[in-house]
Structure 1
Amino acid sequence: MDLGLNGKRAIVCASSHGLGRACAMALAQAGASVVLNGRDGAALDATAAAIGAATGVRVATVAGDVAEDATQVALVAAADGVPDILVNNNGGPPLRDFRALDAAAIHAGLDANMVTPIRLTQRVVDGMMERGFGRIVCVTSASVKAPTGGLDLSSGARVGLTGFLAGVARQVAGSNVTINFLLPGLFATRRLDGVHAYAARAQGVSEEEAAARARARIPAGRFGDPDEFGRACAFLCSAHAGFITGQSLLIDGGAYPGVL
């Protein structure tokens, strides 16, 4: 399917590894030029080279913390000042018992996973509205729908982001600008190793056993492949998804047992 993204410009935050990289690759495969971001310059350059070689599209990089104003300004500039697509993504705070969170840690988690994507949205949304096309996708977490111990700060920040931007989505939809949310369950990324380590300590088992238990709770019988997550992101960014906005798409292999 042609997603109608040839020539579009995409910013994908935290995209040197994992789900962000998968989103960037899928958008590039659909014909969009991409601006990558990450703190590890070497990993960022390697990802840019891989995406460029695989797709032939223009790939730019901006190294730095996406929470910093200078990095945000550079990201928009690298998209020629006119990004059509923004994928808000950032690493979640470390898993820990909520009792161990002091004020500094709470504020840092909220800044990274709620304030930063809101600020980036503010930077790009007016231009998208003026041009009559925009796609904003926020990578949050399955814990938005099914809170999990150890992810309390992540859950709270991402629920706050969802509530804030769900209202904004209705304000900008008439200009063909959509804002949606992707909620990953357990995907085979570096983050998953930390999840297993936390669960192993909490359950008093090995990390291998914790991983086996987690896999057994997923009806699909496996952990997610980042590539399939990236393709879902690309579709929400496509010309065909203009009537989908303010929605939270859970991608977890059926682990969440509810119907809503």
Structure 2
Amino acid sequence: MDLGIAGRKAIVCASSKGLGRACAMALAEAGCEIVVNGRNSDELARTAKAISQSTGAAVREISGDLDDPATREALIAACPEADILVNNNGGPPFKAFAAITREDILKGVQSNMLTPIALVQALLPGMAARKFGRIVNITSGSVRAPIGGLDVSSGARAGLTAFLASAARAHVSDNVTINSIQPGTFDTDRIRSSLERTVAQRGIALATARTEAAARNPARRFGDPAEFGALCAFLASARAGFITGQNILIDGGAFPGAF
């Protein structure tokens, strides 16, 4: 399917690896010019080179922490007329509820709510004026079904989801959509760190922990980041202009509800 976004400009946050990288690759394959971002400049450069070589797309790198206003300003300066914004940022680490501090909460809210809101507020007016915009927020399946130990992440990402709900309805008539994707268990560094925690707690082999975790999913596997990227690219496409304010779960059927 031609997604109708060849030549469009996209900012993909936290895209040096994992789901963000998959989104950047999928958008580049659709013909977009890409601005990628990450905190590790060497890793970011490798990602930008890989995307460019694989797709022929123009790729620009902006290194830095998204929670730093200077990094956000650099992103916007690199692509002031962005047509597509993919909001992504690192999530708070696993932590028992009783151990969560006020500082933990404030940091999580900054990273997973305030930072993406700041980017939306900066770029949405231009999208509306140009009559095309696609904003995709990468949140988490834990927004829909909270997971113990990820309380800060669940709360902050749920806040982002609710905060942008009215803006999604207000700007769809400008051909600007705002949606979120809620990933379940994907084969990324984040799941690997979770598996390593299981290994340490139970004293089992990493391969065993991985097999057991995959078997708990109805699909009997982890998600492929490329599958996530493909969904992101569709939501960012010209074909998805009637989809807005939606929170799309992609988890292999792990969430047991019908709605």
TM-score bin, normalised by smaller chain = over 0.9
Assess, with a 3 A threshold, how the Cα gap between structure 1 residues 206 and 156 changes in structure 2: closer, same or farther: farther
State how far apart, in whole Å, the 2-side matches of 1:111 and 1:36 are.
20
Q: CA deviation at 1:96?
A: 1.1
For structure 1, the residue ranges without an aligned partner over 5 or more in a row are: none
CA distance in 1, matches of 2:66, 2:108: 13
SS in 2 for 1:10: strand
In structure 2, the residue corresponding to 1:22 is in which secondary structure? helix
The code of the aligned residue for 2:44 comes to L
Q: State yes or no: 1:112 paired with 2:107.
A: no
Question: Residues 147 and 198 of structure 1: is their aligned pair in 2 closer, same or farther, counting only changes over 3 Å?
Answer: farther
User: CA offset at residue 211 of structure 1?
Assistant: 2.7
Secondary structure, counterpart of 1:136 in structure 2: strand
Aligned residues: 259
| Closer, same or farther: CA 160–198 of 1 in aligned 2, 3 Å | farther
Residue 3 of structure 1 is matched in structure 2 by: 3
Q: Distance in 2 between matches of 1:255 and 1:214?
A: 12
Q: Distance between the aligned counterparts of 1:144 and 1:72, measured in 2? A: 25
Match of 1:50 in 2: 50
Report the AA paired with residue 23 of structure 1: C
Which shifted more, 39-48 or 144-153?
Answer: 144-153
CA shift, 1:73, in A, is 1.2
What displacement does 1:209 show? Answer: 3.8
Which AA in structure 1 matches 2:13?
A: C
Aligned twin of 1:255: 254
Counterpart mapping for 1:34-113 below 5 A: 34-79=34-79, 81-113=80-112
Q: CA deviation at 1:212?
A: 2.7
| Other-structure match for 1:129 | 128
Shift of 1:203: 6.0
Q: How far apart in 2 are the matches of 1:145 and 1:198?
A: 24
Instruction: Spell out, residue by residue over 1:159-209, the C-alpha distance to the aligned partner (whole angstroms, 9 max, x if none).
Output: 111011112111111100000000110000000012223445566755444
Q: Secondary structure at the match of 1:62?
A: strand
Three-state SS of the structure 2 residue aligned to 1:135 is strand
Aligned to 2:244: 245
What is the alpha-carbon distance in structure 2 between the residues aligned to residue 100 and residue 206 of structure 1? 28
Q: TM-score, normalised by structure 1?
A: 0.96
The separation in 2 between residues aligned to 1:251 and 1:106, in whole angstroms, is 26
Contact 1:95 1:194 in 2 (8 A): no
Show the 5 A alignment for 1:183-194: 183-194=182-193
For structure 2, the residue ranges without an aligned partner over 5 or more in a row are none
Q: Secondary structure at the match of 2:34?
A: strand
- The alpha-carbon deviation at position 100 of structure 1 amounts to 1.3
- Give the structure 2 partner of residue 24 of structure 1: 24
Determine what percentage of the aligned residue pairs are the same residue.
56
